[in-house]
């Protein structure tokens, strides 16, 4: 399976040592020996890291008399940036839509709260009892109250009395 350049670049930058090498090369070109001085590893290990970066197209080496400086190649970074930017714009658009929905919900809640407060104030201004409901049946009292009536269909039992 062929791996595209974008995937190779992300794989190459997955390693912190290679990211650091890229950061150093972004300041100035350097040889393998100059790069190896900063790491607790052999020149051969640094060369292997550089080879991965070269295969990804992030770094190139050229001959300059006796030196072979490593140079950062910006084209692959442009490719990576455009790929990331596309998804960043999509995410921002989604967040923008979410913000609009949340703002609409907040406005609807504010309007509902204002309507409820206005209704409560109007009800209080009329002197109406908020607990009384004029459409409800009146509560039974006295003889009409089933709870207060003795029930002849059931015998009364008292503790300790024979049945």
What does 110-130 look like in DSSP terms, one character per residue?
A: HHHHHHHHHHHHHHHHTT--T
Query: Would you say 55 and 8 are in contact if contact means Cβ atoms under 8 Å apart?
Result: yes
Residues 6+ apart with CB under 8 A from 4: none
For the chain, give the percent of residues with pLDDT over 70: 69
| pLDDT tens digits for range 44-73 | 999 999 999 999 999 998 887 778 899 999
User: Does the pLDDT of residue 76 top 60, yes or no?
Assistant: yes
- pLDDT of 108 reads 87
- pLDDT of 1 reads 38
User: Does the pLDDT of residue 147 top 60, yes or no?
Assistant: no
Query: Which of 28-42, 113-127, 135-149 tops mean pLDDT?
Result: 28-42
Query: Would you say 130 and 123 are in contact if contact means Cβ atoms under 8 Å apart?
Result: yes
Q: Are strands 70-72 and 59-61 parallel, antiparallel or unpaired?
A: antiparallel
Fold entry, domain 5-72:
Arc Repressor Mutant, subunit A (1.10.10)
Least confident of 93-102, 134-143, 144-153: 144-153
- Residue among 73, 74, 56 at smallest CA distance from 15: 56
User: Does the pLDDT of residue 115 top 90, yes or no?
Assistant: no
0.85 surpassed by pTM = no
Token reading at 49: 């890291």
- pLDDT of 18 reads 96
User: Does the pLDDT of residue 161 top 60, yes or no?
Assistant: no
| Integer Cα distance of 117 and 106 in angstroms | 16
| Integer Cα distance of 135 and 123 in angstroms | 16
Domain spans of the chain? 5-72, 74-122
| Integer Cα distance of 155 and 163 in angstroms | 9
Least confident of 54-58, 100-104, 139-143: 139-143
| Integer Cα distance of 26 and 71 in angstroms | 8
| Integer Cα distance of 97 and 102 in angstroms | 9
């Amino acid at each position: 399976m062929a791996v595209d350049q974008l995937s190779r670049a992300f794989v190459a930058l997955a390693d912190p040592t290679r990211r650091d090498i890229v950061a150093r090369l972004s300041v100035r070109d350097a040889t393998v020996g100059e790069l190896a001085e900063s790491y607790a590893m052999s020149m051969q290990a640094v060369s292997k890291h550089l080879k991965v970066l070269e295969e990804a197209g992030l770094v190139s080496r050229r001959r300059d008399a006796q030196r072979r400086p490593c140079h950062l190649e910006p084209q692959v970074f442009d490719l990576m940036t455009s790929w990331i930017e596309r998804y960043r714009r999509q995410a921002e658009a989604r967040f923008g839509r979410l913000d609009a929905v949340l703002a609409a919900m907040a406005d609807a809640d504010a309007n509902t709260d204002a309507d409820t407060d206005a209704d409560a104030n109007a009800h209080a201004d009329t002197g109406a009892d908020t607990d009384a409901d004029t459409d409800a049946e009146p509560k039974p009292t006295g003889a009409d109250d089933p709870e207060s009536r003795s029930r002849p269909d059931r015998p009364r039992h008292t503790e300790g009395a024979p049945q």
